[in-house]
Amino acid sequence: MLLGSSMAPKIILAAFFVIFSLKFYSAKSETWVQGGYWLSGSGFPSSDINSALFTHLFCAFADVNSTSYELLLSASDEKEFSNFTDTVKQKNPSVSTLLSIGGANANYLTFSTMVSNSSFRKSFINSSIKTARVYGFQGLDLCWVSANSSSDMYNMGVLFEEWRATIELKAGNSSQAKLILTAAVYFHPDLRSRSFPVKQMEQYLDWANVMAYDFHSPQWYNSTAAHAALYDPTSIFNTDYGIKAWISGGLSSNKVVLSLPFYGYAWTLANAQDNGIGAPATGPAISGGGAMSYKKIRDYVLSNGANVMYNAAYVVNYCTVGSTWIGFDDVDVVKIKVAYAKEKKLLGYNSWEISYDDNWMLSQAAAQEGNNDGRNKRRLLAIVLSTSAAAILLLGCFLIYYFRIRKLKSKVGTFLLNMLKEAYTLPNPMCTVSGFYCYKL
Ligand SMILES: *[C@@H]1O[C@H](CO)[C@@H](O)[C@H](O)[C@H]1NC(C)=O
Ligand SMILES: *[C@@H]1O[C@H](CO)[C@@H](O)[C@H](O)[C@H]1NC(C)=O
Ligand SMILES: *[C@@H]1O[C@H](CO)[C@@H](O)[C@H](O)[C@H]1NC(C)=O
Ligand SMILES: *[C@@H]1O[C@H](CO)[C@@H](O)[C@H](O)[C@H]1NC(C)=O
Ligand SMILES: *[C@@H]1O[C@H](CO)[C@@H](O)[C@H](O)[C@H]1NC(C)=O
Ligand SMILES: *[C@@H]1O[C@H](CO)[C@@H](O)[C@H](O)[C@H]1NC(C)=O
């Protein structure tokens, strides 16, 4: 006999417990998530957060130790993170807090190595759960945006499975509620043709925060654009396309949380008179990469007396001052996106990042729209109508264009087609060029 007679039943019991709890695991039934990320070092004290506007707050970011693969907090973050939960609960005792791990500055090699080895994963999992418990967080969030190979993606799935199993096991031994487990992911389930572990995400995560922004940036895109377009009649880089792909790829709509950007981008126009969406541009304006928080955009709009325009085909706001063009999500766009999340029966919304807001305007608008059922239908009807109108218009233009091209055998058609193909195969901007969603603006 390999096992002592007293050991065997214990092991069988433990195994049964794990299998049982996994089989019958179901996420604490969240009904509607009003989430927001708070970034340490943003200069915005956690005590200033208006937690009443949120159901979940993500404290960002913890890192991973490159030799022990345990969770790593800098001394200054540890100070701030240790009382984050107590601090935000003072204004809203029912808000839940999650510790977010990773971000744009996370070391790719450390994460890739950690997920590849079971003993490293174990160190990471155990220390993350321990840290969450010690500091009173109700959940953990993985924000690994540089995963870029099929083995990274596969191993990420293994990590989710083991993380969940450990959380279930530890919860069985404790009076505290189970930790929530989430991940922040690309707007589409395929990242440079590598697929996220959708099956494991569906099975083991409470939800995924789908980062539907940074589709275009003035640093690498030669025309003005809606970087977080809800729809885009000319390309696949839009929120609706990504959300539908996640859902058809196997992630339940009630495990999808739509992440909203509380920032926009400023472009320099090639010609100040040509200032719609898709106008030729020569690069970023105002800041180095062109990224601007909503607060800075509002200040800019007010101090320049700029007209804020709205484009219903993309669902985006923009304004022009001289040859500076800024595309962003204003209050109405945020409301339309939250109405979209409700209509598609998503679990809720999230924002990057709460300190970019201007006097809680966007967070308030999102919270109100989320709790407002009557107006959603009308708003959505308007979106549907304007989208169909745009689609019909576009189809018309396309047909005219198509026949013209056929007639003229114009080189322009081929050029445009190549451009579209190129756009499709562009690297993920978040991992390579910009990644502003994780930086201080
Ligand atoms: C990482 O872990 C190792 C081994 O436990 C430890 O010696 C080292 O100080 C840690 N690094 C940091 C930056 O904390
Ligand atoms: C939280 O910790 C910070 C840093 O140690 C401190 O400045 C702040 O007063 C603490 N807040 C609360 C509510 O304990
Ligand atoms: C994991 O890492 C440990 C320590 O470096 C090593 O002994 C072990 O062989 C590794 N396991 C795998 C599956 O690579
Ligand atoms: C993935 O990204 C890291 C850094 O971000 C890089 O070192 C590595 O070569 C990339 N791997 C692939 C397969 O692109
Ligand atoms: C459960 O709790 C007991 C007593 O505190 C402890 O001895 C045991 O190691 C715990 N088991 C797990 C799986 O954490
Ligand atoms: C487009 O951007 C590139 C840099 O990415 C620049 O070299 C080129 O001149 C730009 N083209 C136009 C038409 O502005």
Q: pTM for the whole thing? A: 0.81
How deeply is 332 buried, as exposed, middle or buried, from its count of CB atoms within 10 A (0-12, 13-18, 19+)? middle
Could you identify the atom of ligand 2 that is nearest to the CA of residue 84?
Answer: 1
Quick check: is 80 in a domain? Answer: yes
For tokens 């808000």, the residue is: 95
Residue from 161, 159, 194, 165 nearest 178 by CA: 165
- For ligand 5, atom 8: residue with the closest CA: 173
CA 77 centroid distance within chain: 22
Q: Which residues line ligand 6 (CB under 6 A)?
A: 220, 222, 282
- The residue whose CA is least distant from atom 9 of ligand 3 is 117
pLDDT tens by residue, the chain, 441 residues: 344 445 555 555 555 454 444 434 444 456 899 999 999 988 999 999 999 999 999 999 999 999 999 999 999 999 999 999 999 999 999 999 999 999 999 999 999 999 999 999 999 999 999 999 999 999 999 999 899 999 999 999 999 999 999 999 988 777 889 999 999 999 999 998 899 999 999 999 999 999 999 999 999 999 999 999 999 999 999 999 999 999 999 999 999 999 999 999 999 999 999 999 999 999 999 999 999 999 999 999 999 999 999 999 999 999 999 999 999 999 999 999 999 999 999 999 999 999 999 999 999 999 999 988 654 455 555 555 555 555 666 665 566 555 554 444 444 444 444 344 333 333 333 333 333 333 434
Is residue 372 in a domain?
Answer: yes
How far is Cα 25 from Cα 48, in angstroms, rounded to an integer?
Answer: 36
> Around Cβ 260, how many Cβ atoms within 10 Å?
25
Beta-strand pair 71-72/180-185: unpaired
Residue 322 resides in a domain: no
Q: Which ligand 1 atom minimizes the distance to the CA of 68? A: 2
Residues 263-281 as b or e (16 or more Cβ within 10 Å = b): bbbbbbbeeeeebebebeb
Can you give the CATH number for the domain in which 145 is found? 3.20.20.80
In a domain, 271, yes or no: no
Please report the pLDDT score of residue 422 as a whole number.
37
Does the residue 359 lie in any domain? yes
For ligand 5, atom 14, name the residue with the nearest CA.
170
Question: What is the CA(80)–ligand 2 centre distance, in A?
Answer: 7
**Residue 406 maps to a domain:** no
Which ligand has the minimum distance to the alpha carbon of residue 114? 3
User: What total of structural domains would you count in the chain?
Assistant: 1
Residue span of the structural domain in which 222 resides: 14-262+328-391+414-438
402 assigned to some structural domain = no
Does 272 reside within a domain? no
In this structure, the number of other CB atoms found within 10 A of the CB of residue 25 comes to: 15
